[in-house]
Amino acid sequence: MNQPLSQDVVAHIASLARIDLSQDEISHFTEHLKKILDHVSQLEGLDLDSVEAMSHPYPLSNVLRDDVVGPTVEPQEVLVQAPDVADGQFRVPPILGDPS
């Protein structure tokens, strides 16, 4: 950032974002944003040329479990509990017009 962060800058950014801030909130956010920007500038100063680029900080491989067939419920057991059934399927009201 070329200019120091001021309350005027924070108020301008808030107005661009259409956020109404009180003077106390502007002061509060100015101090917090200064701390954040100071921290980011410290990070920008790090020499990371020897650090390999990565997409994830931990060495993960496929973390999915095996697809194992387990016990299932019989279709008739489920259909008995349905409010309306036709031809071995759930019957629901039409949502896209006339069902004919």
Per-residue pLDDT of the chain (100 residues; tens, 9 = 90+): 567 899 999 999 999 999 999 999 999 999 999 999 999 999 998 999 998 888 888 877 777 888 899 999 999 999 999 999 999 999 998 888 776 6
Which pLDDT score, from 0 to 100, does residue 100 have?
61
Domain CATH code at residue 26: 1.10.20
Q: Which residue segment(s) compose the domain that 38 sits in? A: 7-44
The CB-side HSE value for 39 (13 A sphere, CA atoms) comes to 6
> How many domains is the chain partitioned into structurally?
1
Contact residues for 82 (Cβ-Cβ < 8 A; gap 6+): 90, 91
Question: Is residue 19 in some structural domain?
Answer: yes
Do the domain assignments include residue 13?
A: yes
Task: Decide if 73 is inside a domain.
Answer: no
